[in-house]
Structure 1
Amino acid sequence: MVLTVAGRVGRSLLVVLLVTVAVAALLSLAPGSVASVILGENATPQAIAELNARLGLDRPFFVQYVDWLGNAVQGDLGTSPLTSQPVMDAILERLPVTLQLAVMALTIALVVSILLAVVSAVRPGSVVDRGINVVSSMLLSVPAFIAGPVLIYFFAVQLGWFPVTGWSRISDGLGENLLSAMLPAIAISLIEIAAFHRVLRADLIGTLREDFVGAARAKGMSPAYVMFRHALRPSSFSLITLAGINLGRLVGGTVIVESLFSLPGLGQLLATSIISRDVITVQGVVVFIAVVYVGVNTVVDLSYRLIDPRVRKAAAA
């Protein structure tokens, strides 16, 4: 077990290291510099060069990267030359917004997809099953940047149930906070609902044909008990994997939605930093997201044996 954990953690650290190298290399190739943004359009090349030298941005790429990596290992992701705010402080300040959106979207997707998959798997091929599959296909083809404006128009502008844009913090009231977060979370969750439903439906149909399910039915157990006690858990193996992967992706995939709804999260911070050529902040945010993504996936990998007893038996053998 210890060797398994050490191996997974080692591979995860290697992935994060490769991500940092790729991000630093790509940002070094981007045109423009933060110095030109700070000094404005009328700045002379000499003034831009002097500011770049003061900020240490005129050094070779490898020297800048090694210096940044040494500080990052100690938890220092640098300081934004535009705002003079430490990047880690900026991330922690905006992380609750993005994390709440990701968790709400994942929760909505899991609840809805499990219900739809159970209904579909009870009678596969029925009218209800085909109707759910049609809706699932429609949701799968609607990206968040399309779903967002549609949701805003109908539920915020026309019906007035939710605010059009903006964010209310939990300290301002839980009800107001949930109202401001609901539409963005739903916009993010639509594709996830479709993907989760397809995966779980297929696994449930296969599990319901297994001998141990037939034995449970032969003992006179109710269909609901058989479904949720005997079939759902072993069928959730692929769903948990996909949910874990998508949670890490959702933390960094809210850029468009946060921009549409004017939410002060990591996505908006990343977008504004890219536009302003704030390389230090962009690199810090991307690396933070990569650590979260890899960390979540590592935890999911290690939790397999807790979810499915077949993995424990295979490991023991």
Structure 2
Amino acid sequence: MSQAEAASRRIGQEEANMTQNNASQPARARSEELVPSRYAVRVGEIDVLVISDGVLPLPTAMLGHNADPAVRAGWLDDMFLPQDAFDWSLNAVLVRSGGQTILIDAGLGLDPDLNLPRAGQLTKRLEAAGIDLGSVTDIVLTHMHMDHVGGLLVEGVKERLRPDLRIHVAAAEVKFWEAPDFSRVSMPPGFPDALRAAAKRFTEEYRSHLRLFDEEQEVAPGVVATRTGGHTPGHCVVRVASGGDRLMFAGDAVFAVGFEHPDWYNGFEHDPEEAARVRVRLLRELAETGAQLVATHLPFPSVGHVAVDGDAFRWVPAFWDY
């Protein structure tokens, strides 16, 4: 049995033992989908499960709104991608460490005004993996954009969470959303209003669960959230380390085009220049340490490594471990 298979089985069995769900429910959910939606990774003694929340189709200019359109079009051609819209993957991560079950980011949820039927799948896919929402002890939010907090706003979700749930988020992030600045983003119409509304509602509904940190917070043994800023003022990454193994969940600091063009501005970045500096710094760290990378908007399961390639970087996807 491979490490990934063992980790997946271990997580599923532990969570199944904590719930009264019968075994047929995950089987039914799995049979409805034609592609995998979760992938297990072992980081030393820590189990990590990457879970797909679906995909978010956006205009391709969102990949680099400061780039020369001809150069951006060339990159899309080189990647065999369409010119009009690009599917941004939405990945969340579940971590088991020290008796805690930590969910990193909570997915998009269901906003009827945005008509995004291929996203907002996280709750369903957690259930398909045998993960009971009531077993989650901690949630880490890389930031408070709607595609990271929206899953907590779906009807019926809050009632299934533990009353003592801890939600870890940088204090600077909560402060930012009291009066968010959208003056430097490049988003499609409707998104700023939706993001404001989701962040406000999340803060109101979950304020008593928030555990704020300034720069760094150890959430569980070997699981550390660190504020990077850039994408949003309180954006953070989560580093997982055990034994000699390391993995970084980079949230929105790294996206598909950012290896070859780390200076291109993602349309959701509130401080594009700082976001680019953060991106380069993290990519250099990953290349130097050899740590595995997982990120919200890299193609699922987004597990791989980073190599230096001249003045830029190269993405090295992991071979799937069955």
TM tier, smaller: under 0.3
The structure with the largest strand share of the pair is: 2
The structure with the largest helix share of the pair is: 1
Q: With structure 2 as the length reference, what TM-score do the two structures score?
A: 0.24
Q: Which has the higher contact order (CA 8 A, sep 6+)?
A: 1
Name which one, 1 or 2, has greater alpha-carbon Rg: 1
Q: With structure 1 as the length reference, what TM-score do the two structures score?
A: 0.24
